[in-house]
């Protein structure tokens, strides 16, 4: 998974929790055996390691479409805060993509398809 991708993480004993994929190379962090992705949990800022191919452990964040996960996570007050942060990041990424598309259309159709694809794939760029 690419750095800055918004995801849901499921760890035993916790509800689905929103996180953002971090760049372990840039962070200078070595991944433990059996894990391929460093994530930063929203709300708490804690970091953890996951196996991105484990669909029972990691799924892409899809904003309001993730109604079931949002509802489950809202039962925990600290997770609710993290969900609100994730939804705000998601909305900001959508707004940025729409703005880029509008600007691109105004410039004769040269919008950034990379930015639009990033939102569709569940990615968000933090600035």
* pLDDT for res 122: 52
pLDDT tens digits for range 9-53: 998 888 999 999 999 999 999 999 999 999 999 999 999 999 988
Tell which residue, 123, 125, 126, has the closest CA to residue 1: 123
Q: Three-class SS of residue 43?
A: coil
pLDDT-derived band at 126, boundaries 50, 70, 90: very low
pLDDT tens digits for range 66-123: 888 888 887 888 899 999 999 999 999 889 989 999 988 887 755 455 554 554 455 4
DSSP H helices, the chain, are 24-27, 67-73, 77-106, 113-120
Q: Is residue 12 classed exposed, middle or buried when 0-12, 13-18 and 19+ CB atoms within 10 A define those classes?
A: exposed
Q: Which helix (H) or strand (E) holds 20?
A: strand 17-22
* pLDDT for res 21: 96
In whole angstroms, give the CA distance from residue 29 to residue 24. 5
Neighbours of 95 (CB within 10 A): 11
Structure-model confidence comparison of residues 12 and 126, the more confident one: 12
In whole angstroms, give the CA distance from residue 53 to residue 90. 22
Domains of the chain: 6-120 (2.30.30.140)
Asked if the model's pLDDT at residue 60 lies above 90, the reply is yes
| Token pair in block for residue 19 | 């996180």
């Amino acid at each position: 998974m690419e750095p800055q991708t918004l995801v849901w993480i499921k760890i035993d004993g916790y509800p689905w929790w929103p996180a953002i994929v971090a760049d372990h190379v840039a962070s200078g962090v070595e991944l433990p055996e059996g894990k391929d992705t460093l994530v930063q949990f929203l709300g708490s800022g804690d970091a953890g390691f996951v196996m991105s191919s484990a669909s029972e452990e990691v799924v892409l964040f899809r904003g309001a479409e993730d109604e079931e996960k949002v509802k489950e996570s809202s039962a925990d007050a600290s997770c609710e805060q993290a969900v609100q942060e994730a939804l705000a990041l998601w909305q900001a990424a959508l707004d940025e993509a729409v703005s880029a598309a509008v600007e691109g259309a105004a410039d004769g159709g040269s919008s950034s398809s990379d930015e639009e694809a990033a939102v569709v794939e569940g990615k968000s760029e933090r600035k």
